[in-house]
Amino acid sequence: MKQYREDLKNRAQKLRKQSTDTEKFLWKHLRNKQITGIKFRRQQPVGKYIVDFISCEMKIIIEVDGGQHTINRAKDIKRDRYLNKEGYKVLRFWDNEVLTNIEGVIEVIMRHLSPSPLPSPLKGEGEKGREARKVIPQGRGGKKKRER
């Protein structure tokens, strides 16, 4: 089942050929599974939109915003809502941020690609805390008591 309109396919191909310098620069870092072995595509149709970069596997979209996005903020919000509803996480970066702080941009992307770490134990739930609350069964089918 196609996720996009057929007419967007040709437009996406044209956009790939006409990438901005910033998109080309970020693409050098995303292509060939360079970030945690995750595959990205560029200028990919998703529904009625064409996104700058996408990892279908991780359901993450990366958008590089130029100056025109300060004017069309309402369109970006509508677009992000649609993409979120489709199950994608949208990461947006300003083009000057990509050009001047690529390490920081890559770090943010990697954080979103990595599985969430397990939460730290709450206060008192470390090894001592767990041992102190160990449940010990009392006979067959009997009630359990907490060890103190």
Q: What is the pLDDT of residues 39-87, one digit of tens each?
A: 999 999 999 999 999 999 999 999 999 866 566 788 899 999 999 999 9
CATH code assigned at 76: 3.40.960.10
DSSP track, 125-143: -SHHHHHHT-EEE-STT--
The whole-number pLDDT of residue 135 equals 44
Mode of pairing for the β-strands spanning 89-94 and 60-65: parallel
Q: Does the pLDDT value for residue 4 go beyond 70?
A: no
Domain assignment of residue 123, yes or no: no
> Average pLDDT over the chain, rounded to whole?
81
Phi, psi of 87 (to 5 degrees): 100, 10
Angle, CA of 83, 96 and 115, to the nearest 5°: 45
Contact 98, 109 (CB under 8 A): no
User: Residue 89 and residue 77: Cα distance in Å, rounded?
Assistant: 13
Structural domain containing residue 100 = 6-113
Number of structural domains (the chain) is 1
The whole-number pLDDT of residue 73 equals 81
Domain assignment of residue 105, yes or no: yes
Domain assignment of residue 108, yes or no: yes
Residue 121's pLDDT band (cuts 50, 70, 90)? low
